[in-house]
């Protein structure tokens, strides 16, 4: 397994990342910033994970939001 300490997503699962975003921002804000149905209509971690794993453009947006959150917290 490659070790990449310079990657801010290294060691973070998609579920951890999404849970932290939901805890910090809430589903409503996420649905406004990233317009995907799984954030706007009956949102859940499970349905969002399924969608994000199949949809690279949406996952990229969520990961970028997580990176911005982490940068603002440091």
Model confidence over 47-56: pLDDT tens digits? 999 999 999 9
pLDDT digits (tens, 9 = 90+) for 16-32: 999 999 999 999 999 99
CB atoms within 10 A of CB 59: 17
What are residue 3's phi and psi, to 5 degrees?
Answer: -110, 120
The answer to whether 47 and 2 have CB atoms below 8 angstroms apart is no
- pLDDT number for residue 2: 53
Q: Give the SS3 label for residue 32.
A: helix
Q: Which CATH architecture has domain 14-73?
A: Orthogonal Bundle (1.10)
Q: Where are the domains of the chain?
A: 14-73
- pLDDT number for residue 1: 45
Please report which confidence band the pLDDT of residue 3 belongs to, taking 50, 70 and 90 as the band edges: low
The answer to whether 45 and 22 have CB atoms below 8 angstroms apart is yes
Tell me the pTM.
0.87
Task: Report the C-alpha gap between 67 and 42 in whole angstroms.
Answer: 25
């Amino acid at each position: 397994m490659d070790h990449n300490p310079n990657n801010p997503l290294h060691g973070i699962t998609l579920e951890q990342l999404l849970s932290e975003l939901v805890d910090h921002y809430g589903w409503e804000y996420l649905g406004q910033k990233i317009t995907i149905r799984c954030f706007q209509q009956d949102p859940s971690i499970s349905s969002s994970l399924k969608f994000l794993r199949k949809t690279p453009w949406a996952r990229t947006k969520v990961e970028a939001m997580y990176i911005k959150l982490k940068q603002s917290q440091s």
